[in-house]
Amino acid sequence: MKKIWFTSGASIVLAGCLIFLLFFYRGHQPSPSPNSNGGTQDTSAGSPEEIVSNSCISCHGENLQGGAGPALNKIGAKYTQNDIEDIINNGKNGMPAGVISNEEAAIVAEWLSQKK
């Protein structure tokens, strides 16, 4: 009988911890680095290859050949830089909006628009 109570109690505690993590854990959040005028700057934007590697290849493929999402390796022949940026920011068909920041979207859109 003691074993049942212990197992039930441990299960409830474990379930509570999992629910807490599911709703409240945000992982490691990098702090903004200070800039020369004493303020902070956002460090999220990087090279387009780095942004794509971190946020896009899971759907569009490691070489942008396509996968769950369409191929992007020649997307510049179909869309302009502004069109690509709009799709990244607002989504289209199965592409969700806001996967990356607006600043990152501009960087990636410029890079992708050159892929023809």
pLDDT value at position 28? 59
Backbone dihedral angles phi then psi of residue 92, each to the nearest 5 degrees: -165, 135
Its pTM surpasses 0.75: no
Which residue shows structure tokens 């460090």?
Answer: 43
Q: In the beta sheet, which residues pair with residue 33? A: 41
The pLDDT tens digits of the residues spanning 15-59 come to 888 887 777 766 655 655 555 544 444 445 689 999 998 999 999
pLDDT value at position 39? 47
The pLDDT tens digits of the residues spanning 64-77 come to 999 889 999 999 99
Cα distances from 29 to residues 25, 32, 58, 101, 105, in angstroms, run 11, 9, 22, 15, 20
Q: What is the spatial distance between Cα 66 and Cα 100, in angstroms, rounded to a whole number? A: 19
Which residue shows structure tokens 């999402």?
Answer: 69
